[in-house]
């Protein structure tokens, strides 16, 4: 995780903000300790707020691609299709989703 954060940070970035929903894993003691040790700022938002959550947009995009390209009929095919699409995602895809979020938050449209 540390390496992923370093890759995603701009050279002039002084702080990392982690967007986490209320999934239990995000609130486990080990997760909290890691955030505290690395001085990770946690962005708090309502428990259900898909317009502010980049992962919801990512899953939507993946769902569209999986449905259009693979149209899986069985769970095994669905798993293979999701894995295939996931492997094609780049850091730029994810960064684009977070930049959209930042723009929405900045102009108040999110």
pTM tops 0.95, yes or no: no
Judgement on whether residues 17 and 39 belong to the same structural domain of the protein: yes
Judgement on whether residues 76 and 106 belong to the same structural domain of the protein: yes
Judgement on whether residues 59 and 99 belong to the same structural domain of the protein: yes
pLDDT at 106: 47
- Please, what is the end-to-end C-alpha distance for the chain in angstroms? 27
Q: What is the mean pLDDT of residues 14-31?
A: 73
Judgement on whether residues 33 and 64 belong to the same structural domain of the protein: no
Domain around 16:
1-44
Torsion sign over Cα 10, 85, 60, 49: negative
Instruction: Give dist(CA 13, CA 8) in Å, integer.
Output: 10
Instruction: Give dist(CA 21, CA 48) in Å, integer.
Output: 8
Judgement on whether residues 110 and 66 belong to the same structural domain of the protein: yes
Judgement on whether residues 89 and 107 belong to the same structural domain of the protein: yes
What is the helix (H) or strand (E) element at residue 79, kind and residue range? helix 75-88
Residue 30, pLDDT above cutoff 50: yes
| Structure confidence by residue, pLDDT tens digits, 39-68 | 777 776 666 666 667 778 888 889 999 999
Supply 8's token pair.
């995603």
Supply 47's token pair.
């428990």
Judgement on whether residues 24 and 52 belong to the same structural domain of the protein: no
């Amino acid at each position: 995780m540390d390496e992923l954060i370093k890759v995603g940070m701009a050279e002039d970035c002084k702080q990392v903000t982690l967007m986490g929903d209320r999934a239990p894993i995000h609130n486990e003691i080990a997760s909290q300790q890691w955030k505290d040790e690395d001085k990770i700022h946690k962005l708090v938002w309502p428990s259900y707020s898909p317009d502010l959550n980049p992962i919801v947009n990512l899953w939507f995009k993946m769902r569209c691609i999986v449905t259009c390209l693979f149209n899986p009929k069985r769970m095994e095919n669905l798993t293979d299709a999701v894995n295939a699409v996931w492997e094609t995602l780049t850091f730029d895809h994810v960064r684009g989703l977070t930049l959209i979020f930042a723009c929405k938050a900045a102009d108040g449209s999110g």
